Amino acid sequence: MKKILILGGGTAGTMMANKLYKALDRQEWEITIVDQHKTHYYQPGFLFIPFGIYNKSDVVKPKGDFFPAGVKVIYQEIDRIEGEENRVHLTDGSSLKYDFLVIATGTQTRPDETPGLQGEEWYKSIFDFYTVEGAVALQRFFKTWEGGKLVMCISELPFKCPVAPIEFVCLAEAYFTGKGIRDKVDITFVTPLAGAFTKPIATKMLSQLLDDKNIKVVPEFYLESVDNEKKVIKSYDEVEIPFDVLTIVPVNMGSEMIERSGLGDDMNYVETDKETLQSKKFENIFVLGDAANIPTSKAGSVAHFAAEILFENMMNAFENRPPTAKFDGHANCYIETGYGKGALIDFNYDTEPLPGTFPLPGIGPFGLLKNTKINHYGKMIFRWIYWHILLRGKEMPIEAHMTMAGKKNNID
């Protein structure tokens, strides 16, 4: 029996387990998946919890429900990969051999990386919504909050789902308007980037959107620490921004297991060939999802498109062919903007998000970089698509490679 080992049973690992299991001869191949936790979180849903649109029960399901019956599942923490020996060590002291390895251990929030972030005020007036605990605590806080300064701060790049903080402030704006206290809430969006987003055309559109909603943007703010007593955030060049409630995207880092395995960069993301999705150190190690250091968004949609390429290249490797499939960095993100509307961006390594329309057979077209109702529905049906199609590794009516169809290239 040849052995495939998948590390991490989140979005990417689960998708890959399903795809491989369906394609491979069960007499010849043994597929094993390892994860430390039994609960699968629909992370895009975290965004809606603070505003009472979703509750915890809307975003959790057992991981086991999504693994194919013939895949061996081990719930254990991974200690490290020993690439030279084709072996993975678990923290209980046991070890597993593999012929091919898929790393899909994602990224974690690391509030401990910012001095003062987890001080006195943590979960009292400082919250993250990148964990279910933080999102639920924030929902409780917002219910009785009477207004003041709301500061949304991004700690470090890269972080997963780069549009989530923008969506958060838009939803907050709509939420407080609905509660009739918008005039008492001052919303500020603080980012280390030079603008609301990284790519120029999308930044222009999103800056306008935030401006229309009277949300202030503070760019080029690089967070050093949080002062709990004075309730200010401080940057390295000593700018201070006061807050009454701080919502934060903590530093995001890959698993420490990657560091212990000597496979990562200094944010513990696996050094990965951005086209073949192979580890730069070992040919039989592949990387999928947020764990990879490829220069595109860390998002479920990216993992989905990359999975198709990875699947092809693994099939190539199984039959001793070179990895001819090439990933283009395709990302496709709905941006929830409040009041039942949304925007959509679609881009890859080389093409920045452009306006136009996005063709989706049966449902679309969706407006690209436009604020429309249909884009909002796109976001809301994404949850159903996630549980029923994406995780199960089924085909979606969207090409893995980005298409220029519908995009407008010549705008000023």
Partner 1 sequence: MATKNYAGKSVEVNDEGYMVDPSQWSKEIAAEIAKEEGIELTDKHYEVLEFLRNANEKGETLTIRRVGKSGIVDIKGLYQLFPGGPLKFSSKFAGIPKPASCV
Residues engaged in binding ligand FAD (CB under 6 A): 8-13, 34-37, 43-44, 46-47, 77-78, 104-106, 129-130, 160-161, 164, 255, 257, 289-291, 298-301, 303, 333-334
Contact set for partner 1, span 312-351 (CB under 8 A): 331
156 binds, among ligand FAD, partner 1, none (CB under 5 to 8 A by kind): partner 1
Task: Find how far residue 256's CA is from the centre of its chain.
Answer: 18
DSSP code, position 121: T
Q: Cis omega before residue 361 (within 30°)? A: no
What are the Cα distances from residue 312, in Å, to 19, 21, 287, 349, 398?
10, 14, 13, 20, 17
* Residue where the block lists tokens 């890269």: 158
Q: Residue with CB nearest ligand FAD?
A: 10
Contact set for partner 1, span 199-258 (CB under 8 A): 199, 220, 222, 224, 236-237
Position 156 contacts partner 1 (CB under 8 A): yes
**Part of the chain binding partner 1 (CB under 8 A), chosen from 13-21, 76-84, 138-146, 264-272:** 264-272
Q: How far is the CB of 362 from ligand FAD (least distance, A)?
A: 20
Q: Quick one: how many helices (H) and strands (E) in the chain?
A: 7, 24
How does strand 87-90 pair with strand 60-62? Answer: unpaired
Position 264 contacts partner 1 (CB under 8 A): no
- Asked whether 191 and 203 are in contact (CB, 8 A), the reply is no
Q: How far is the CB of 49 from ligand FAD (least distance, A)?
A: 9
Tokens of 238: 């000593």
Give the nearer residue to partner 1 in terms of CB position, either 178 or 262: 262
- Segment 157-160 long-range contacts (CB within 8 Å, at least 24 positions apart): 157/192, 157/193, 158/252, 158/267, 158/298, 159/107, 159/249, 159/251, 159/252, 159/298, 160/43, 160/106, 160/107, 160/130, 160/252, 160/290, 160/297, 160/298, 160/299
Site mask for partner 1 (CB under 8 A), range 188-207, x = bound: ----xxx--xxx--------
Site mask for partner 1 (CB under 8 A), range 271-310, x = bound: ----------------------x-xxx-------------
50 binds, among partner 1, ligand FAD, none (CB under 5 to 8 A by kind): none
78 binds, among partner 1, ligand FAD, none (CB under 5 to 8 A by kind): ligand FAD
* Residue 48 to residue 35: CA distance in whole angstroms: 26
Phi first, then psi: give them for residue 388, nearest 5 degrees.
Answer: -100, -25
Position 133 contacts partner 1 (CB under 8 A): no
CB atoms under 10 Å from CB of 371, counted, come to 20
What is the total count of residues that contact partner 1 (CB under 8 A)? 23
Chain residues in the site for partner 1 (CB under 8 A): 156-158, 162, 192-194, 197-199, 220, 222, 224, 236-237, 265-267, 293, 295-297, 331
